[in-house]
Chain A
Amino acid sequence: AQSVTQLGSHVSVSEGALVLLRCNYSSSVPPYLFWYVQYPNQGLQLLLKYTSAATLVKGINGFEAEFKKSETSFHLTKPSAHMSDAAEYFCAVSEGNQGGKLIFGQGTELSVKP
């Protein structure tokens, strides 16, 4: 069975600081991995995806994530946080891009301090 673990339900950074949101996955088959962002009172939006091509994936708003098979990780980073990045971030895994279910992590709330 697939699963996703996001380490830290809440992360707080200062504006301009590095953002690092951690995600570890478990999958019996090569996974497809996704990061979604949820702004207050809105639905989830796709931030970026890994679909077995390049291991370093670039997404919108300056975010990127690196797939590390040896560590079963897919951590999300951004070099310099902006106030507008404050939101909840979800890591998700599926068995391929069209198969199985999309399993979400518990989410990490990112706060950005001025």
Chain B
Amino acid sequence: DAGVIQSPRHEVTEMGQEVTLRCKPISGHDYLFWYRQTMMRGLELLIYFNNNVPIDDSGMPEDRFSAKMPNASFSTLKIQPSEPRDSAVYFCASSLGRRWEKLFFGSGTQLSVL
């Protein structure tokens, strides 16, 4: 299996622009997680899905952030409008069941908002 695939690897955009991050989980995994990593706050859980349904979005910082999972093999995290403080590395992870030792991370998207 190719693992969790995220795109793009790097994204540079200007403040106010819409940003869409993409994730393809490991085939057969039923949980998908979006994390954000910053120097100040470390690794934070933003939202997670089970069987394509959002279960907990309490970590989503603001209404500017939204996430969708239209099917079992694809998820997006959208920021509209983007702000410089959104600059971070965004990770997607997936697991079969919510068993943490079976949690696999993608390589992340490095987002820079100028």
Contact = CB atoms under 8 A, between A and B. Distances in A.
Decide whether A and B are members of one complex: yes
Interface of A: 32, 34, 41-46, 49, 51, 90, 92, 94, 97-99, 101-107
A43 B106 contact: yes
30 contacts: A34-B100, A42-B107, A42-B108, A43-B91, A43-B93, A43-B104, A43-B106, A44-B43, A44-B91, A44-B105, A45-B105, A46-B100, A46-B103, A49-B100, A49-B101, A90-B42, A90-B43, A94-B100, A97-B99, A98-B97, A98-B100, A99-B98, A101-B56, A102-B100, A102-B103, A103-B45, A104-B43, A104-B44, A106-B42, A107-B42
Given A43-B105, A43-B106, A92 B91 contact: no
B4 interface: yes
A44 B103 CA distance: 9
Interface of B: 4, 42-45, 56, 91, 93, 97-101, 103-108
